[in-house]
Amino acid sequence: MANEIHVNYTSGNTLYAVVRNVAGGVWYPAGQTFEAWGTGGRTADDYDISVTDKNGSRYIGDFDADIPLGRYFVQVFLQAGANPADGDNLVAGYEIVWSGTGRVTADKLLANKAIQNKTTGTIEYYDDDGQTVLLTHTPTDAEATITRIPAQPMQ
């Protein structure tokens, strides 16, 4: 998918994003891994994800499709110099739940396709492509419990 990163900020600037996992590690795109900031002498220039000024104070970028499914934090920085630098100012930040192929949102789960297997009771909730399973929910018939099991383990 594309255009999962969105930020509102005055047009005419240069912004970039970085992605962090729940442990605070930063995504290193060239190495396809999360690591501590500065590993191997790396700087913001090694971690940046480009975002494009779409005018009207809106910037858009692509979440790296190689990031495994899970819960992540997107940080957006205002680039002061010619390249991203560790001293650049943070201008926005938010959380994203990533299915491995797209952003998971409540409206996707509620508005898109869901199919229940009548034999097992399992309910599969699909992305807006109608093919990608975002969540698998298996209700159990116990007194007051319902167990939800993600399609794949979240990181």
pLDDT at 86: 97
pLDDT at 36: 98
Task: List the domain boundaries for the chain.
Answer: 5-98, 106-149
Residue 152 near residue 136 (C-beta atoms within 8 A): no
pLDDT at 52: 97
**List of residues 6+ apart from 70 with CB closer than 8 A:** 21, 22, 97, 98, 154, 155
Of the two residues 53 and 128, the one the predictor is more confident about is: 53
Q: Chain-wide mean pLDDT for the chain?
A: 86
Domain covering 5-98 in this structure, CATH number: 2.60.40
CA 98 to chain centre: 4
Distance CA 126, CA 129 (A): 7
pLDDT at 132: 76
**How confident is residue 152, by pLDDT bands cut at 50, 70 and 90?**
low
**How confident is residue 123, by pLDDT bands cut at 50, 70 and 90?**
confident
Q: How many CB atoms lie within 10 A of CB 76?
A: 24
Distance CA 77, CA 131 (A): 34
pLDDT at 2: 83
| Amino acid (1-letter code) at residue 55 | N
pLDDT by residue (tens digit) across 44-96? 999 999 999 999 999 999 999 899 988 899 999 999 999 999 999 999 999 99
Of the two residues 115 and 9, the one the predictor is more confident about is: 9
Residue 64 near residue 19 (C-beta atoms within 8 A): yes
* Region of poorest pLDDT, from 6-10, 16-20, 52-56, 101-105: 101-105
